[in-house]
């Protein structure tokens, strides 16, 4: 018998594993995102602890299921197509961090990512004494990889780099250890 996650994914290919909440707790709730596209299966599945089970307004669920510590809180299995995945990154952390909006560039992702990388790099340069090994430097590095992949036409690889940036961006803002990802 297939597991609940297998049933919810409709055996589609996983496009991203994301960490959208900084929390050390284990999941007790599995939230199911809306159907992905016109086929069966959830767009995403989020694993959350009791404190975060209802606290993700950016991730509106269509159903909630019990879970027993199968993943850390904030883990998300994302099954959306690449364009939707990129838009989700923009909505959750890229635009709040950089001010760069995909619609300004007609959704041309290489242009969006190049401008966002430029903004983050300028922020790093303005801070001058920023930690060489700090999250901002790492975001600049990973944004460079994302830009390169997007310019080569590999938006899925760009999304992989952005997934790492998403995790790093959570540490840029001072907030409680179990705070939500940047809005």
pLDDT for 73-95, tens place per residue?
Answer: 999 999 999 999 999 999 999 99
Percent of the chain with pLDDT over 70: 87
pLDDT band at 181 (very low <50, low <70, confident <90, very high): very low
pLDDT in the model for residue 178: 35
pLDDT in the model for residue 129: 56
87 and 150: one domain? yes
Which of residues 78, 110, 131 is at a domain's end?
Answer: 78
Is the per-residue pLDDT at 101 higher than 50? yes
Cα 172 to Cα 57, 63, 97: the distances in Å are 21, 32, 9
159: alpha, beta or left, given left = phi > 0 and alpha = psi -120 to 50? Answer: alpha
How many domains in the chain?
2
149 and 92: one domain? yes
Is the per-residue pLDDT at 36 higher than 80? no
Is residue 52 situated within a structural domain?
A: yes
User: From CA 51, how far away is CA 21, in angstroms rounded?
Assistant: 11
89 and 163: one domain? yes
Q: Which token pair is 17?
A: 């594993």
69 and 97: one domain? no
Is residue 182 situated within a structural domain?
A: no
pLDDT tens per residue, range 104-142? 999 899 999 999 999 999 998 887 655 667 889 999 999
Task: Beginning with the edge strand found earlier in the chain, give each strand of the sheet holding 16-19 in spatial order.
Answer: 16-19, 75-78, 44-48, 29-32, 63-66
Is the per-residue pLDDT at 16 higher than 80? yes
144 and 68: one domain? no
139 and 162: one domain? yes
Is residue 176 situated within a structural domain?
A: no
Is residue 48 situated within a structural domain?
A: yes
Which of residues 28, 53, 78 is at a domain's end?
Answer: 78
Q: Which of 3, 19, 22, 23 is nearest to 11 (CA)?
A: 3
Query: CA angle, corner 54, sides to 182 and 25, nearest 5?
Result: 75
Alpha helices in 53-169 (DSSP H): 82-89, 95-98, 109-127, 135-151, 155-169
What SS3 class is residue 133?
coil
65 and 13: one domain? yes
Treating both helix axes as pointing N-terminal to C-terminal, what angle do 109-127 and 135-151 enclose, rounded to 10 degrees? Answer: 160
Is the per-residue pLDDT at 180 higher than 70? no
User: From CA 11, how far away is CA 162, in angstroms rounded?
Assistant: 24
Average pLDDT, the chain: 85
Is residue 91 situated within a structural domain?
A: yes
12 versus 148: the higher-pLDDT residue is: 148
pTM of the entire predicted model: 0.84
> Is-contact 43 78, C-beta < 8 A?
yes
Domain range holding 68? 4-78
Which of residues 45, 78, 111 is at a domain's end?
Answer: 78
Is residue 136 situated within a structural domain?
A: yes
């Amino acid at each position: 018998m297939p597991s609940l996650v297998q049933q919810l994914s409709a055996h589609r290919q996983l496009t991203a594993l994301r960490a959208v909440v900084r929390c050390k707790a284990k999941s007790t709730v599995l939230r199911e995102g809306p159907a992905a596209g016109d086929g069966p299966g959830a767009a995403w599945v989020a694993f959350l602890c009791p404190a975060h089970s209802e606290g993700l307004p950016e991730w509106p669920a269509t159903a909630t299921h019990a879970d027993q510590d199968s993943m850390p809180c904030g883990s998300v299995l994302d099954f959306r197509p690449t364009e939707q995945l990129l838009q989700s990154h923009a909505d959750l952390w890229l635009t709040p961090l950089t001010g760069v909006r995909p619609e300004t560039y007609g959704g041309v992702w290489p242009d969006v990512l190049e401008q966002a990388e430029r903004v983050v790099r300028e922020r790093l340069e303005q801070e001058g004494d920023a930690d060489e090994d700090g999250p901002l430097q790492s975001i600049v590095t990973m944004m460079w990889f994302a830009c390169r992949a997007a310019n080569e036409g590999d938006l899925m690889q760009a999304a992989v780099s952005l997934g790492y940036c998403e995790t790093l961006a959570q540490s840029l803002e001072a907030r409680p250890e179990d705070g939500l990802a940047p809005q």
